Amino acid sequence: MPQAPNVYDAEPIPESARTAIEHLLTSGDLFRYTAPGATPVSLLETEFADWIGSKSALAVSSCSAALFLALKALGLPRGARVLVPAFTFAAVPSSVVHADCVPVFAEVDDSYRIDLDDFSARMDAGVDAVLVSHMRGHTSDMDSIMNLADDADVPVIEDAAHSLGTRWHGRTIGTIGRVGCFSFQSYKLVNAGEGGILVSDDDELIAKAVIMSGAYEHNWKKHPVLQDHFQCWQNRLPLYNMRMNNLSAAIIRSQIPEIPRRAQRGRENHDHVAGLLNRSPYFIVPEPLGPEIRAPDSIQFNLINMTDGQVMAFLDQTATKGVPVQVFGLSKDNARAFWNWQFLDPLPDLPGTRAMLMRACDVRLPARLSGDMCRHIARCLVESAARVMETPATDHDHR
Ligand SMILES: *Cc1c(COP(=O)(O)O)cnc(C)c1O
């Protein structure tokens, strides 16, 4: 059998980054505010805002920093209640805690999307902001969410860390709420090791976020955004210093032209594997929503009619074949399982999301994989499940 591909390997950084990096290494000019004119970071902000269709962008050190600054720039008071889907990465409720707010969780269903009945009930109970995490690039019904939030006059932040290139009714995800936040950490579509960016059409919000990101004194003059609001916030906001450096920006800029190709290849790979998995009676890959065009770099699917012992045996089988699968709720200390977020007191109780996490599998499928590699991964998954479910009872049933 051919060897399984390593799904954690990154793509090479485009050649065009080299000239820019060589220049930065020669000049030593790594800080975004040293040069008087445009720098790689400010150019990235202009290019990213244009690409995504937003008025302004602010590049920062991570998506978590962007989420934190978005919450602060919304001016939410201490103790404000922020509604977050219960299926997300631990850094997301952490950013809410960091901003002195209180996360409130909405159940997520077995299509990995926000359960709208539960969301609506939590809205009715009173929240001050909504932070929609498009977890693993799955878009919840943004039409209903925006309607409910608009009716309640509550701002929406989009955590689009893992959704770069996804479209909803043709619009780029991250531009639907008041603020959108993206990540350039290595496991996302654009890889700079670390980095984040926030986008918004709200000039005042951007001005506040720019200052708090660390545009001390009059460095805000070097931002490619409307200058009207800065004077009024000068010296009135804390400086959290979450800036991006020029090297990261050079690496990110070289990959912006790559986004459409990576999004399309990722979607083709995903849909190819989804088609093969859905032929097995032991898997269900949820369908995208009608208005959604996805840009996945991984696949999620649910295991059907398996006992805990059979799930563990399936994971053993796939690991032997060299295809790493995680079931979010079954790996110890998983950062996407809400019961592990013990920095929260009390821990939330969310039976629907818990049930989903106990059967939802996660496999990376980066855009660089070939059709053959995708078929190999799908075959390993299908054969592993068949082996576990169709061989007579063995000790796995008794674990
Ligand atoms: C990766 C990720 C984050 C965190 O991004 P960082 O840049 O590492 O802070 C937040 N939310 C989601 C959905 C993510 O996938």
pLDDT digits (tens, 9 = 90+) for 203-221: 999 999 999 999 999 999 9
Look at ligand 1, atom 2, and give the residue with the nearest C-alpha. Answer: 161
Integer Cα distance of 148 and 177 in angstroms: 12
The percentage of residues in the chain with a pLDDT greater than 90, rounded to a whole number, is: 95
Q: For position 2, what pLDDT does the model report?
A: 63
Look at ligand 1, atom 13, and give the residue with the nearest C-alpha. Answer: 135
Is residue 30 within 8 A of residue 245, CB to CB? The reply is yes
CB of 63 shorter than 6 A to ligand 1 = yes
| Backbone phi and psi for residue 46, each to the nearest 5 degrees, phi listed first | -65, -45
CB of 95 shorter than 6 A to ligand 1 = no
Q: For position 381, what pLDDT does the model report?
A: 98
Q: For position 262, what pLDDT does the model report?
A: 96
Look at ligand 1, atom 10, and give the residue with the nearest C-alpha. Answer: 161
Integer Cα distance of 179 and 174 in angstroms: 7
The reply to whether omega before 346 is within 30° of 0 (cis) is yes
Query: Would you say residue 1 has pLDDT above 80?
Result: no
Look at ligand 1, atom 3, and give the residue with the nearest C-alpha. Answer: 161
Query: Would you say residue 235 has pLDDT above 60?
Result: yes
* Closest approach atom of ligand 1 to CA 135: 13
In this predicted model, what pLDDT tens digit does every residue of 60-99 receive, in sequence order? 999 999 999 999 999 999 999 999 999 999 999 999 999 9
Distance 85 CA to ligand 1 centre (A): 14
Q: For position 399, what pLDDT does the model report?
A: 45
Is residue 11 within 8 A of residue 367, CB to CB? The reply is yes
In this predicted model, what pLDDT tens digit does every residue of 362-381 receive, in sequence order? 999 999 999 999 999 999 99
In this predicted model, what pLDDT tens digit does every residue of 131-152 receive, in sequence order? 999 999 999 999 999 999 999 9
> Which residues have CB under 8 Å from 20's CB, separation 6+?
40, 250, 253, 254
Query: Would you say residue 177 has pLDDT above 80?
Result: yes
Is residue 165 within 8 A of residue 295, CB to CB? The reply is yes
Distance 91 CA to ligand 1 centre (A): 7
User: Would you place residue 7 in the very low, low, confident or very high pLDDT band (cuts 50, 70, 90)?
Assistant: confident
Q: Ligand 1 pocket test: pick from 61, 87, 140, 183 the residue with the most ligand atoms within 8 Å of its Cβ.
A: 183
Distance 357 CA to ligand 1 centre (A): 18
Mean pLDDT, residues 237-243 taken together:
98
Query: Would you say residue 398 has pLDDT above 70?
Result: no
User: Cα separations (Å) of 374 from 21, 67, 277, 300, 301?
Assistant: 34, 34, 11, 14, 15
Query: Would you say residue 19 has pLDDT above 80?
Result: yes
CB of 91 shorter than 6 A to ligand 1 = yes
CB of 229 shorter than 6 A to ligand 1 = no
Q: For position 5, what pLDDT does the model report?
A: 87
Integer Cα distance of 172 and 238 in angstroms: 31
Integer Cα distance of 283 and 254 in angstroms: 38
CB of 274 shorter than 6 A to ligand 1 = no
Integer Cα distance of 382 and 276 in angstroms: 8
Q: For position 8, what pLDDT does the model report?
A: 85
Q: For position 213, what pLDDT does the model report?
A: 98
Query: Would you say residue 360 has pLDDT above 80?
Result: yes
**Secondary structure of the chain as H, E, C letters:** CCCCCCCCCCCCCCCHHHHHHHHHHHHCCCCCCCCCCCCHHHHHHHHHHHHHCCCEEEEECCHHHHHHHHHHHCCCCCCCEEEEECCCCCHHHHHHHHCCCEEEEECECCCCCECHHHHHHHHHCCCCEEEEECHHHCCCCHHHHHHHHHHCCCCEEEECCCCCCCEECCEECCCCCCEEEEECCCCCCCCCCCCEEEEECCHHHHHHHHHHHHCCCCHHHHCCCCCCCHHHHCCCCCCCCCECCHHHHHHHHCCHHHHHHHHHHHHHHHHHHHHHHCCCCCEECCCCCCCEECCCCEEEEEECCCCHHHHHHHHHHHHHCCCCCEECCCCCCCCCCHHHCCCCCCCCCCHHHHHHHCCEEEEECCCCCCHHHHHHHHHHHHHHHHHHHHCCCCHHHHC
CB of 62 shorter than 6 A to ligand 1 = yes
User: Would you place residue 395 in the very low, low, confident or very high pLDDT band (cuts 50, 70, 90)?
Assistant: low
Taking CA 190 as the corner, what is the angle to CA 170 and CA 260, rounded to the nearest 5 degrees? Answer: 35
CB of 64 shorter than 6 A to ligand 1 = yes
Integer Cα distance of 304 and 398 in angstroms: 19
In this predicted model, what pLDDT tens digit does every residue of 255-268 receive, in sequence order? 999 999 999 999 99
Distance 305 CA to ligand 1 centre (A): 31
Q: For position 394, what pLDDT does the model report?
A: 55
In this predicted model, what pLDDT tens digit does every residue of 276-300 receive, in sequence order? 999 999 999 999 999 999 999 999 9
Query: Would you say residue 118 has pLDDT above 80?
Result: yes
Q: For position 396, what pLDDT does the model report?
A: 53
